[in-house]
Amino acid sequence: MNTRILCLIVVGLLLGFRGQSAPVYVNSPRPAGPVDQFLPGPFFLDRNQSVRLQQVYEASDFSGYGFPEEGVLITEISFFGGPVPIGLTTPSNIQINLSTTSKLPDGLSASFAENIGSDDLIVYGPSPLRITQGPGATMGITLSQPFPYRSSSGNLLLDIRNWQGMGQPPPPSSWQLAVVSRAGDSVSGVSSSDVNSAIAEFGDTFGLMTVFTVIPIPEPGPVVLLAVGGVALFLFTSRGRLRFRRRDVSLTQP
């Protein structure tokens, strides 16, 4: 059988048997508790302002859901608040990164670089902010690049850069983002009013109330493993036969 055709068959098996898990909504912090205040957060700033915000989420917030050992794919991040006014001008240049960090809540460094994990990934932007209706929250952000996260590997770091504020005054507090600020909870953050600064100016136990939309990464089933093993064996033996044929040809040539 043609090797290319066989590979296509295996890819089909992988896609067919892997399936698509239903999305799960992870709230952080847990338990959410009462809202301490509402703030415009890192998104809705006044004209000509910029900000960088890092927020850490304890890995335990992702426990109790029965996620597989392979972890989850984070596909959307949502924040609690009031209804976003129709026609609102959103920030024009937002970048969001996620990574797995060893830093703990209330233990982030003032140096942004020291908080970032080795698997740091740009999951949104740089681009204008596009808001969707999030699950159980007001402001949802669908990630352009899903992030694979295993809670057994460390805590989750959210890193938001906003290079420019809105072209209008900040919105009223009636729909700003919900913030919790309690020592000992599962979130905390550091921030700077200069997006290009390497050092945070502010650090506190505050944290935006967040909902992560995740899709569990399923374990490969026995049929998939058997198919992959079969392809590997076929390719190995095919290359072996090809080498022997080439050797036979070279020996018979005058």
What pLDDT digit, counting tens, does each position of 188-202 carry? 999 999 999 999 999
Q: Residue 214 above 90 pLDDT?
A: yes
- pLDDT of 45 reads 74
- pLDDT of 9 reads 56
Q: Domain-by-domain residue ranges, the chain?
A: 1-20+219-232, 22-216
What pLDDT digit, counting tens, does each position of 100-122 carry? 999 999 999 999 999 999 999 99
Instruction: Identify which of 1, 56, 18 has the alpha carbon closest to the alpha carbon of residue 233.
Output: 1
Which whole number is the average pLDDT over 113-141? 89
Confidence of residue 133 (pLDDT cuts 50, 70, 90): confident
Contact residues for 143 (Cβ-Cβ < 8 A; gap 6+): 74, 75, 76, 77, 96, 123, 124
Confidence of residue 4 (pLDDT cuts 50, 70, 90): low
- Residue that the structure tokens 């938001």 belong to: 160
User: Six-digit token pair at 30?
Assistant: 């847990």
- Percentage, residues of the chain above pLDDT 70: 68
What pLDDT digit, counting tens, does each position of 71-104 carry? 999 999 999 876 555 555 577 789 999 999 999 9
